[in-house]
């Protein structure tokens, strides 16, 4: 028994408990908000699903953070990347269609969204790709060809589903990691110019009509208030009606009377803002700020490049999901279907989020073991 507890103590040594407290406070906010948004006192199945996925996510977090170490994670990174890319290809060929997009893959009794898992593996594969480039003092587009390939494959596979929001997040997370290595300014200028040119080409030849409508209605939601602009308008009404203290738990008119669409997923924060008001929003903002500060602190203390880039990738994951979702809810960004991590409903996303937290635990455990 003594040996068993020594083993448990060793496996959990270095675990960032303060980070986990922040994570589960946000999970609690999400479940509290979900209960109200979905009327769980009458129909609890979505609330129960989210609770179940939070528990499954905890197991995934323990797998990556406690049972695995960073050396094993590094070895599994390419295999994980290959499996997720294969799943993305399978979705493109024969996946299930939902809301006009082909994003789901059935694995026996469960459905998964591989595009969510792509965010996790892109963090691993980008960090691993720099392990083989030691001694390079300044990177150029020619020396970053590995990263462009490994990022480009899942990006394109998600883009053709079509899922512009998730494919953009895959690219943003990878770019956030790469931004912390020394990149030649000429290469950066080329990327910016290429990106602007690609945006023009995409608008004219790539984007679907509904995606263009999202951008146009972002600029002026009132051009189609009962159609494509409806989501943004109802969301802004919900946020504005919350006032300072909010309408109270299960008292939001926009959510409870079903004016607000997707109130348990993309617009979960709208429900929170309406019912908990400005004060509640400050609490959520504070928790996310604390979470990001804790993640950047882990990245700063990381012992090696692989650990640091993984931590930065996870920081980018949370940062971009938060910024895009909140600005989308406030009408400052087009509606692109990006959830608010740890708060919005979604099994695949919760599994991905908690797996990312597991990576941070593994990074901290390596630092603790190397400091003894």
Summarised one tens digit per residue, pLDDT across range 251-267 is 776 766 666 776 777 88
| Of 293 and 186, more confident | 293
Give the pLDDT of residue 100: 54
Give the pLDDT of residue 23: 96
Summarised one tens digit per residue, pLDDT across range 220-252 is 555 555 555 666 777 777 777 778 888 878 777
- With a pLDDT cut of 90, the percent of the chain lying above it is 36
* Residue 149, both tokens: 């390939």
Distance CA 172, CA 196 (A): 15
C-alpha dihedral sign at 249, 319, 159, 114: negative
Give the pLDDT of residue 114: 87
Summarised one tens digit per residue, pLDDT across range 340-359 is 999 998 888 999 999 999 99
The structural domains of the chain, with segments of one domain joined by +, span 18-370
Please work out, in degrees rounded to the nearest 5, the angle formed at the alpha carbon of residue 55 by the alpha carbons of 5 and 298: 65
pLDDT level of residue 1 (50, 70, 90 thresholds): low
Please work out, in degrees rounded to the nearest 5, the angle formed at the alpha carbon of residue 293 by the alpha carbons of 287 and 298: 125
Summarised one tens digit per residue, pLDDT across range 88-121 is 988 877 765 555 556 777 766 677 888 899 999 9
Give the pLDDT of residue 146: 81
- With a pLDDT cut of 70, the percent of the chain lying above it is 80
State yes or no: pLDDT of 301 exceeds 70. yes
Q: How many CB atoms lie within 10 A of CB 367?
A: 18
Rounded mean pLDDT, 186-207: 73
Distance CA 84, CA 281 (A): 35
Summarised one tens digit per residue, pLDDT across range 120-138 is 999 999 999 887 766 566 6
pLDDT level of residue 59 (50, 70, 90 thresholds): very high
Rounded mean pLDDT, 318-326: 94
State yes or no: pLDDT of 291 exceeds 60. yes
Q: Check if the beta carbon of residue 275 is closer than 8 Å to that of residue 247.
A: yes
């Amino acid at each position: 028994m003594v040996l068993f507890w020594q083993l448990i103590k060793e496996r959990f040594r270095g675990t960032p408990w303060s980070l986990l407290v922040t994570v589960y406070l946000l999970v609690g906010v999400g479940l509290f908000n979900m209960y109200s948004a979905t009327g769980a006192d009458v129909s609890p199945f979505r609330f129960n699903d989210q609770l179940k996925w939070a528990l499954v996510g905890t197991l995934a977090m323990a797998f990556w953070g406690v049972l695995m170490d960073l050396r094993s994670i590094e070895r599994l990174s390419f295999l994980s990347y290959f499996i997720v890319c294969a799943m993305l290809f399978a979705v493109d060929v024969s996946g299930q269609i939902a809301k006009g997009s082909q994003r789901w893959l059935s694995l026996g009794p469960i459905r998964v969204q591989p595009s969510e898992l792509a965010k996790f593996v892109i963090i691993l594969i980008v960090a691993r790709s720099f392990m083989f480039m030691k001694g390079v003092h300044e990177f150029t587009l020619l020396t970053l060809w590995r990263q462009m390939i490994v990022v480009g494959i899942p990006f394109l596979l998600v883009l053709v589903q079509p899922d512009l929001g998730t494919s953009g997040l895959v690219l943003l997370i990878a770019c956030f990691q790469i931004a912390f290595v020394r990149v030649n300014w000429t290469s950066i200028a080329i990327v910016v110019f290429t990106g602007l040119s690609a945006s023009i080409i995409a608008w004219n030849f790539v984007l679907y009509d509904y995606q263009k409508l999202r951008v146009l209605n972002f600029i002026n939601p009132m051009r189609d208030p009962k159609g494509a602009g409806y989501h943004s308008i109802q969301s802004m009404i919900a946020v504005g009606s919350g006032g300072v203290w909010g309408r109270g738990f299960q008292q939001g008119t926009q959510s409870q009377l079903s004016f607000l669409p997707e109130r348990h997923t993309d617009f979960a924060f709208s429900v929170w803002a309406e019912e908990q008001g400005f004060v509640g929003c400050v609490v959520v903002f504070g928790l996310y700020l604390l979470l990001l500060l804790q993640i950047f602190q882990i990245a700063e203390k990381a012992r090696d490049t692989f650990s640091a880039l993984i931590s930065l990738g996870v920081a980018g994951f949370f940062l971009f999901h938060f910024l895009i979702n909140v600005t989308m809810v406030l009408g400052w960004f087009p509606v692109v279907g990006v959830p608010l991590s740890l708060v919005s409903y979604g099994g695949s996303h919760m599994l991905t989020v908690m797996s990312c937290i597991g990576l941070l635990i593994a990074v901290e455990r390596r630092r603790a073991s190397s400091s003894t």
